[in-house]
Amino acid sequence: MVLPPIPNASEGALKELTEMTEGACLNVTDPADSGQRRRVLPCSSPHRYEVYALLQLPHPSTAEQERAQEAIPRCEEELQRFLNTRTGVDRKQLMIDAFDDYRADARQRTVACAVAYNDFRQVDAPILPQRPPAAAK
């Protein structure tokens, strides 16, 4: 599949995965530089992906493909948990991507779980409904 070009591909602040938060919006999940940073955009700018969960997982392998295969089921569980508390989202229109901050010397890694529409279209609003504010205690 050949994706259409991204007009604003060079926009966004370069951030390490550990600096990202849930709700971060991106055009691509591949690193933008050798420091493994990705370009994070405001969700009001055209984007393809939205991070909905950040997980701490053990290092199963140095191979990126194996790490992704291990992370995707965990990301699917997180998406189901997320969607169980919200309405108005058609899961069939979404695809999941997982990317990590692999460091060979670390015992665990941070994995970002992100969603995009199956057709990879850019949107200029959050893909997923935002979490309701926490109740005041």
Is 127 part of a structural domain of the chain? no
What is the domain extent for residue 81? 13-117
94 found inside a domain: yes
Structural domain contains residue 124: no
Q: Quick one: pLDDT band at residue 135, thresholds 50, 70, 90?
A: very low
128, part of any domain: no
The answer to the question of residue 7 being in a domain is: no
Q: Quick check: is 91 in a domain?
A: yes
Nearest Cα to Cα of residue 82 among 54, 124, 48: 54
User: What beta strand segments (E) does the chain contain?
Assistant: 13-15, 25-26, 38-40, 49-58, 94-100, 108-117
- Please give the residue that has the higher pLDDT: either 44 or 108: 44
Q: Answer yes or no: is pLDDT of 1 > 80.
A: no
Mean pLDDT across the stretch 120-134?
81
> pLDDT tens, 64-118?
778 888 899 999 999 999 888 887 788 899 999 999 887 777 777 889 999 999 9
Q: How many domains does the chain have?
A: 1
Do the domain assignments include residue 126? no
Residue 123 covered by a domain: no
Dmax over CA atoms of the chain, in Å, equals 50
